[in-house]
Amino acid sequence: MAVYTQVSAEAAQALLKHYDVGRLIALKGIAEGVENSNYLLETDQARFILTLYENRVDPADLPYFHAMLAHLHSAGARVPRFIEDREGEWLQDVAGRKACLIEFLAGVSVSAPDGAIAHKVGEALGKMHSALSGFAESRPNPLGLKAWRPFFARCDELATEALFPGLTARIASELEYLETHWPDDLPQSAIHADLFPDNVLILDGEVTGLIDFYFACTDARAYDLAVTHSAWAFSGDGSQYYDEIGNALVQGYGERVALSAEECAAIPILARGACLRFLLTRLYDWINTPAGALVSRKDPLAFLRRLDHYSANGLAV
Amino acid sequence: MAVYTQVSAEAAQALLKHYDVGRLIALKGIAEGVENSNYLLETDQARFILTLYENRVDPADLPYFHAMLAHLHSAGARVPRFIEDREGEWLQDVAGRKACLIEFLAGVSVSAPDGAIAHKVGEALGKMHSALSGFAESRPNPLGLKAWRPFFARCDELATEALFPGLTARIASELEYLETHWPDDLPQSAIHADLFPDNVLILDGEVTGLIDFYFACTDARAYDLAVTHSAWAFSGDGSQYYDEIGNALVQGYGERVALSAEECAAIPILARGACLRFLLTRLYDWINTPAGALVSRKDPLAFLRRLDHYSANGLAV
């Protein structure tokens, strides 16, 4: 959510020499996405996002993201393509970083979705999974079930308890429960794995884009629905569950992808897993981000509360 | 250079209800300007900058900036206007902050200007001063000569010496020199007072906009030229003076505003004053910004080196 690497107008102009997309007329650093540097780059022909990859994205993963987005785009899904230059190259070097020029999509992220929007988002997720049925490439989920225990081990126990007394034991028991009961035979797909409201662009009540695919990976497609459910169907702090939103999401998804009985039965545990994934990554960032830093730390407890909700109430699908 | 206050799409849409500028299609936080929160707000009709005022800009000063920009715009200068809503109101409340919707100007800031660009920038500054001749409002320069001594007193001496041994004595003697010799009878005007390359938009070798007027004030117009000279005619670290740039700037300015003999004679001391102003504010920020913070601290010594240059070589105009 910051600009880590400065890109000069001259560097952007040099990059554009490889493309036939017009001449530079504006370049603004934007605060968006995971820990990359992002610029809104405007030419006299079109607008683009110029992304420079910093710490969190491994350039070795970029071909996977590129292939997934190209596949989705060919299938008619509204996702931002990586733009290829005259030589067909989409991976560039800008200001000492690996960088991509990416299609700009209009639309805004909503903060307070209603049932109608949630239905459209569920549909968009289902359409995306359908479109990916022929997509052959794979990438293990680096933040999937197997990653949670080592991740938890890296969270300082004192700091964890200081944030919320009893949290260590709560996570440990949840982890054990999930490791014991996690389903491993559900239909898999390339999934988004991070479809928060931030990552969905909306215009006039229609989804105009799914963005920020840098957590995309191969995993159970119902897990993607569970992540999306946990991200959309609660108040920001997780204290309030909105069943209208949650139901609309699942219904919209179901109109595009028929969930099997096994998937329906697994959804509650998948939702608990989604909560633990975000609880753990937020906890780690919380502990390891200096309090004075300008980067905003997201509250881990917002996902502890969601976990409490799913543990107590399940999730009927 | 960050987004301090989050503006939701819903809040932007509520703001736009007061205007006849179309419906929201994109909203991106941008890293730009002094310590305000800035968004690129796009409607189906036009693009705007939405600025929320944070610490450094006193809302009480906004009417002055608004009047100056409106005056300049009426005179045909390329500056961003504050957009008025249907009731003629340009000052709004957004997300708990005073905020303005501001005209978006195309153009990019150059990092490595050449003489031709510098000539245009000098001309643009001169045109701006000419256009302001009939502008009656005034605002004392909060970072002018009288402010430097109290500002210096707020810079911790140990930290100053740690940055550069001998800096305290150097600043003290420069301050005494400037207080003794500062000219107080030069032609005054509303001035920009911060016309760094960041604040000049350029397209195809033409100046398309002067932006970021939040240091604008009433002061000697030759001081504005001196600030601009110190900002443009050196390498970023101040170690190298580019006389082609410096000369072109002054020449371009002179084609629009005839400098008096007194102004020409005063330019060297005004340039030293400009250096001390940025040296002091950068020094203060350097000392008082936590090293771990993501906000980038600008090197104070880049202006000590410029000061050394002007002290040794003067500035022939």
The per-residue pLDDT for range B8-29, each reduced to its tens digit, is 999 999 999 999 999 999 999 9
pLDDT score recorded for residue B31 = 80
Average pLDDT over residues A47-52: 96
pLDDT (0 to 100) of residue B295: 57
H-run or E-run covering B57: none
Report pLDDT for A33. 62
Confidence of residue B34 (pLDDT cuts 50, 70, 90): low
Interchain CB distance below 8 Å, A10 and B111? yes
pLDDT number for residue A48: 97
Per-residue pLDDT tens for B91-126?
Answer: 999 999 999 999 999 999 999 999 999 999 999 999
The mean per-residue pLDDT over the stretch A261-273 comes to: 97
Chain B: give the shortest CA distance to residue A36, in Å.
Answer: 13
Contact list in B for residue A292 (CB cut-off 8 A) is 290, 292-293
Residue A16 CB: number of other CB atoms within 10 A? 19
Closest chain A C-alpha to B209 CA, distance in angstroms: 12
Give strand pairing partners of B51: B38, B100
B198 touches chain A (CB under 8 A): no
pLDDT value, residue A35 = 74
pLDDT given at position A1: 45
Average pLDDT over residues B188-215: 96
- Average pLDDT value for residue range B117-140: 97
Does the structure show a pLDDT above 60 at B151? yes
Q: Is residue B117 less than 8 Å (CB to CB) from chain A?
A: no
Interface test with B, best of A1, A15, A28, A44 (most B CBs within 10 A): A28
Give, rounded to a whole angstrom, the gap between the first and last alpha carbons of chain A. Answer: 35
Give this prediction's pTM: 0.89
- Chain A residue numbers with beta carbons less than 8 Å from the beta carbon of B3 are 1, 31
**B172 touching A (Cβ < 8 Å):** no
Structure tokens at A218: 């191969």
Q: How confident is the model at residue A289 (pLDDT cuts 50, 70, 90)?
A: confident
Among residues B153, B154, B158, B156, the alpha carbon closest in space to that of B172 is found at B153
Who has greater pLDDT, B98 or A3? B98
Cβ-contact A229, A270 below 8 angstroms? no
Local structure of B12: helix, strand or coil: helix
Give me the residues of B, 253-282, that contact A with CB < 8 A: none
Q: Cβ distance A238 to A302 under 8 Å?
A: yes
Residue A293 has pLDDT above 70, yes or no: no
Cα separations in angstroms, B215 against B139, B193, B211 = 10, 6, 11
What stretches of A91-166 show up as alpha helix (H) in DSSP? 115-131, 145-153, 157-163
| Contact across the interface for A294 and B110, Cβ inside 8 Å | no
> Higher confidence at residue B213 or residue A294?
B213
Residue B45: how many other CB atoms lie within 10 Å: 12
The answer, yes or no, to whether residue A292 has pLDDT greater than 70, is no
Q: Which residues of A touch B111 (CB under 8 A)?
A: 8-10
Binary contact (B294, A293; C-beta < 8 A): yes
How far is the C-alpha of A286 from the C-alpha of A298, rounded, in Å? 7
B2 confidence band (pLDDT: 50, 70, 90): low
pLDDT of residue B1: 46
3-class DSSP assignment, residue B299: coil
pLDDT band at B191 (very low <50, low <70, confident <90, very high): very high
Residues B154-169: pLDDT tens digits?
Answer: 999 999 999 999 999 9
Q: Which candidate, A7, A104, A22, places its Cα nearest to that of A53?
A: A7
* Chain B contact for A26 (CB, 8 A cutoff): yes
What is the distance between the alpha carbons of residues B306 and A37, in angstroms, rounded to a whole number? 31
pLDDT tens, position by position, B244-257: 999 999 999 999 99
